[in-house]
Structure 1
Amino acid sequence: MKKISSLKYLFVVAAMSGSAVFGQEQMVKPNILFIFSDDLSYRDLSSYGQEQFRTPNLDKLAMNGIRFTQAYSGSSECAPSRGSLMTGMHMGHCRIRANSSVRGQDHLLNEDITVAELLKGAGYTTGFIGKWGIGLPGTEGAPDKQGFDFSYGYYDQARAHGFFPHYLMRNGKPEPIPENYGFNMKRVSTYNGRPVDRLDDVKNVYDENGNLVPDGVPVAAAAKYSEDLFQNEALSFIKKNRDKPFFLYYATQLPHGPCITPDLGAYKDKPWDLKHKEWAAMLGHLDRGVGRMLDLMEQLEILDNTIIFFAGDNGYSQWGYFGRPRNEDDSLFKNKGPWPKGKFTSTHEGGVRVPFFVYWKDKIKAGENDHICALYDVLATLADLASITPPKTDGISFAPILLGKPDEQETHQYLYWENGTMSRHAQSIRLNQWWAYRDHPSKPIKLYDVTEDLACKNDLAKSNPELIDRIRQIYTEAHIDSEWYVNPGESKEQISAKRDKAISMKSMQRSTGANTAYRGRTELSPAGDVLKAAPKE
């Protein structure tokens, strides 16, 4: 049984006791499905302006739900965005502040309270499927140690950058997939960053019907695409828990690169290069999976008691998979959105502004809403919807908006971001109409009115000195120093001392063979044992 701190115990007990936030109509707890897409571009859905391909099932949810037009992820990159979502903390307080700390791929601690733990304490059956990224196998940050009754997928986020793994984790244990042994990941990783006009010697191979021929595996037709496995597990979880409240966190890999898909589908004969066909097909694969979940819940007659959330995890990243200059928009799909820059840039809205919508059949009035929110509001919101008491976080529940009670909606004083990596010391805030950032505590603060200047071209800092003073104060008050991540303004010597400390404490976080697997050599089990060696180069 998991040991929990006394403070955490009090929160869990409070959740179990419950508090009817919205009165008698909330006595029946709704099922909760949270779909978290990976590296989705802002206009990758046809409901968000994509004209080259369609996403009908996601469009149905978006157009019949509330679309938040000023929604932000917790971070501009994968792992901290997930840590923020799960714990309700912004980057000044979150345990996870970058993809890697000075000691490697870091993890949540036992004392961190997750959405899953909160809902589990209130009687929900909790499930995680997909990409975790905030706790390697065997650590206290693994999903099976953080409140999930069921967990299946990639605990190690670096391993999730492939689609034919040698194993996936099921409830804390590796489950081998021998059908994928020998998959040529080295070629795929080379393909990943190549420009679209230099693919001939490394490109994925598809047959005359548009079906993938995965090279290196024993039997090509038997190879297992991880997203197919995830979608099947999601259907199984929903079926098993149809008669009780459930929370399913479906953290899909799609459409994170490298570009590769089981079949090109409707895009096989498009006059596009291969990567564009694959990107559209990957979004189609995700959309069909969501459609299967909707159909199943309709059949089980539980859709009207299931609230569905959909969000992107960070800003635009497609340039990285298509071999283009950093943050350059795609000339065909034009999916970047109007925001400047993209993934890894918390200094700009393009790194953290994301598609976000919520659907609840016959209970949520469809339309757009300009409430300024962040995905670290989700924990407080789900607590409200489940009529339970959340711990104190950086989030504010937006349940009043969902339930048609906008007059009861609280607003944020500000939203805050930072990035705890070796080379980035940036801090950003959204404060009413203002977007402010500085690249380093030693650098000047830049200020933009994003309601008038979306591209952030007109710096208004000099004409607003009192506001700049307030922003400088926020940068201080919103940040608590992290033990293992880089704090804004830390010197190289301080960072090096942190790493030396981690080494001396033997607390370096070893990835589960992900980097070597990604280069196509050997994939290791969580214990470091070779599950299967890839063919020699």
Structure 2
Amino acid sequence: MSRRTVLFLLAFASFAIAADKPNIIFILSDDLAQGDLGCYGQKLIQTPNLDRMAKEGTRYLQAYCGTSVCAPSRSSLMTGLHSGHCPIRANREIQPEGQKPLPAGTITVAKILKDAGYATACCGKWGMGMFDTSGSPLKLGFDHFFGYNCQRHAHSYFPSFLYNDDRRFELPGNTGKGIGKTYAQSLIADETLKFVRANKDRPFFLYYAITLPHGNHEIDDLGIYAKENWTLTQKSYAAQVTRLDSDVGRLLALLKELKLDENTLVMLSGDNGSSFDPKSEVGSLFDQASNGLRGFKRGLYEGALRQAALARWPGKVPAGRVSDEPWAFWDFLPTAAELAGTPIPAECKTDGLSLVSFLKGGPAPKRDHFYWELHEGASLQAVRFDHWKAVRQGPEKPIELYDLQTDAAESNDLAKTKPDLVVKAEALMQSSRTPDPDWPLVQKRPGKGKKKAK
């Protein structure tokens, strides 16, 4: 066999292997609520690209985030661990820049996919460790990073600097205080397209952690909302959501242009439920509680945990499907591993279940329960088993019990009439968490009260 023939066969085999591994894009929008999108019933904010994505794919009504604030929710997505096991279970700031880092040796979706031959990139916001810590995205499986590392820094859409990998670059003319020449999202959106173009001939994983529409509510162009009789904040929020929509539209258009869309799974989700009280300035106008759910960001009721979620993969994910079967962020890691045809490392103790069959039209995977906790103030806990949902607003508070099958709004507490289910819920809350000195169960955060950890 000639050398040329050998090289041809090797190249063909490499191409065949690459073609068998779908590209994976997970778009995580910061604070996007179900009620923000037309495909979920929004009437005032225009989201034509995401509405089309829903028509061309599947829309999920019970997709659950990791928990209801940024860092722990994202950590759950990346590690495949729910917040009873995840090393990050709340937002914890580090000065002068960054958040509490993921520990050394953490296995992430990106690490698994990189080891399986994928090019990997995170564009947008990280928030799980600065570059000089164990939580740097460049130490956890990502070949490339572009955007904001620190989520506090990401509150500004006109920042004075961003990062390209771990290299800081300045944005002249930007104050970091809502005024400037360069809208950061423009650069981030362009970088996602650049990454896709550069890796069109090999399998890739893009974690597009877009900061829109999180506050501060700054936008470079109010567009179609400029003449509305709304407050500036309301106009800006609507424009942010529509800008998110248009930037996702650009990415989907590029996949089609490069003839990649039939080999690319694109998933989109918010990182938590609505960030607004329904009675607030923004929430009241856009009726973000129109889905009938209780609660919002920083709580553990359904309105805080369910978020907008779409999946598109032409020929694989059913078009026009609407599913009310539940899944959660920690399912993404085993899903990605199965898609890549690679085993999950033995040392990776995921809580998730693969969604591949579910994404392709089958039923959701069956499981014993879902679990969440959060440590922003009092330590909150919630557990869902079958159609029952239990919530505890702190270790000294009674467990509340709701029947989601008949009461998705969690308006009728059945705890007193279902004591056996309360006992079961409490047992699940205890067994679902690994005690951690960083995350003790407290009625108030240390320094904010006299209650001792439990």
Show the counterpart of 1:404.
361
Show the counterpart of 1:145.
139
Work out which of the residue numbers 380, 383, 387 in structure 2 matches 1:433: 387
Work out which of the residue numbers 46, 50, 55 in structure 2 matches 1:63: 55
Question: Residues 44 and 251 (structure 1 numbering): CA distance in 2 closer, same or farther, change over 3 Å?
Answer: same
Work out which of the residue numbers 159, 166, 169 in structure 2 matches 1:165: 159
Show the counterpart of 2:351.
394
Show the counterpart of 1:315.
273
Q: How does 1:58-97 map to 2 (within 5 A)?
A: 58-97=50-89
Cα distance in 1 between the residues matched to 2:73 and 2:135 = 15
Cα distance in 1 between the residues matched to 2:202 and 2:18 = 15
Cα distance in 1 between the residues matched to 2:313 and 2:187 = 26
SS of 1:330's equivalent in the other structure is: helix
Work out which of the residue numbers 294, 297, 318 in structure 2 matches 1:343: 297
Cα distance in 1 between the residues matched to 2:263 and 2:331 = 21
Q: How does 1:125-524 map to 2 (within 5 A)?
A: 125-180=119-174, 182-183=175-176, 185=177, 188=178, 214=179, 217=180, 223-319=181-277, 330-336=283-289, 337-346=291-300, 348-366=301-319, 367-390=321-344, 391-406=348-363, 409-421=364-376, 423-488=377-442, 492=446
Q: CA deviation at 1:443?
A: 2.1
Q: CA deviation at 1:102?
A: 9.8
Q: Is residue 88–residue 102 contact of structure 2 (8 Å, CA) maintained in 1?
A: yes
Cα distance in 2 between the residues matched to 1:392 and 1:25 = 27
Cα distance in 1 between the residues matched to 2:45 and 2:93 = 38
Q: CA deviation at 1:493?
A: 8.6
Flag structure 1 segments of 5+ consecutive residues without an equivalent: 1-23, 189-213, 218-222, 500-537
Cα distance in 2 between the residues matched to 1:265 and 1:442 = 49
Cα distance in 2 between the residues matched to 1:300 and 1:153 = 25
Cα distance in 2 between the residues matched to 1:497 and 1:109 = 28
CA deviation string 1:476-518 (max 9, x = no partner): 111112232343568849999999xxxxxxxxxxxxxxxxxxx
Stretches of 4+ aligned residues off by more than 4 angstroms: 24-27, 101-104, 488-499
SS of 1:84's equivalent in the other structure is: helix
Question: Residues 26 and 384 (structure 1 numbering): CA distance in 2 closer, same or farther, change over 3 Å?
Answer: farther
Flag structure 2 segments of 5+ consecutive residues without an equivalent: 1-15
Q: Is residue 87–residue 112 contact of structure 1 (8 Å, CA) maintained in 2?
A: yes
Q: Is residue 434–residue 450 contact of structure 1 (8 Å, CA) maintained in 2?
A: yes
Q: Is residue 46–residue 59 contact of structure 1 (8 Å, CA) maintained in 2?
A: yes
SS of 2:168's equivalent in the other structure is: strand
Q: CA deviation at 1:455?
A: 2.2
Aligned length: 431
Q: CA deviation at 1:179?
A: 3.1
Show the counterpart of 2:31.
39
Q: Percent identity?
A: 41
Cα distance in 1 between the residues matched to 2:281 and 2:297 = 12
Question: Residues 226 and 268 (structure 1 numbering): CA distance in 2 closer, same or farther, change over 3 Å?
Answer: same
SS of 1:340's equivalent in the other structure is: coil
Q: Is residue 66–residue 368 contact of structure 1 (8 Å, CA) maintained in 2?
A: yes
Question: Residues 328 and 472 (structure 1 numbering): CA distance in 2 closer, same or farther, change over 3 Å?
Answer: farther
Q: Is residue 427–residue 488 contact of structure 1 (8 Å, CA) maintained in 2?
A: no
Partner AA of 1:255 in structure 2: P
Greater Cα offset, 275-284 or 96-105: 96-105
CA deviation string 1:202-245 (max 9, x = no partner): xxxxxxxxxxxx3xx5xxxxx11110010000010010000000
Partner AA of 1:452 in structure 2: T
Question: Residues 306 and 27 (structure 1 numbering): CA distance in 2 closer, same or farther, change over 3 Å?
Answer: closer
Greater Cα offset, 245-254 or 161-170: 161-170
Show the counterpart of 2:114.
120
Question: Residues 392 and 158 (structure 1 numbering): CA distance in 2 closer, same or farther, change over 3 Å?
Answer: same
Question: Residues 329 and 165 (structure 1 numbering): CA distance in 2 closer, same or farther, change over 3 Å?
Answer: closer
Greater Cα offset, 383-392 or 112-121: 383-392
Question: Residues 495 and 154 (structure 1 numbering): CA distance in 2 closer, same or farther, change over 3 Å?
Answer: farther
SS of 1:47's equivalent in the other structure is: helix
Q: Is residue 28–residue 209 contact of structure 2 (8 Å, CA) maintained in 1?
A: yes
SS of 1:179's equivalent in the other structure is: coil
Work out which of the residue numbers 25, 30, 39 in structure 1 matches 2:22: 30
Cα distance in 1 between the residues matched to 2:285 and 2:248 = 25
Cα distance in 2 between the residues matched to 1:237 and 1:27 = 18
CA deviation string 1:230-284 (max 9, x = no partner): 0000010010000000000000010001111111111122222222221111111
Q: Is residue 121–residue 207 contact of structure 2 (8 Å, CA) maintained in 1?
A: yes
Q: CA deviation at 1:105?
A: 2.6
Cα distance in 2 between the residues matched to 1:255 and 1:120 = 30
Partner AA of 2:338 in structure 1: D
CA deviation string 1:142-172 (max 9, x = no partner): 1111110010111111000001111111111
RMSD: 2.6
Cα distance in 2 between the residues matched to 1:314 and 1:363 = 27
SS of 1:280's equivalent in the other structure is: helix
Q: Is residue 297–residue 303 contact of structure 1 (8 Å, CA) maintained in 2?
A: yes
Cα distance in 2 between the residues matched to 1:92 and 1:47 = 32
Partner AA of 1:43 in structure 2: G
Question: Residues 110 and 72 (structure 1 numbering): CA distance in 2 closer, same or farther, change over 3 Å?
Answer: same
Q: Is residue 378–residue 443 contact of structure 2 (8 Å, CA) maintained in 1?
A: no
Q: CA deviation at 1:440?
A: 2.0
CA deviation string 1:325-355 (max 9, x = no partner): 6x68733211233211100002x11111111
Cα distance in 1 between the residues matched to 2:423 and 2:350 = 25
Question: Residues 469 and 278 (structure 1 numbering): CA distance in 2 closer, same or farther, change over 3 Å?
Answer: same
SS of 1:160's equivalent in the other structure is: helix
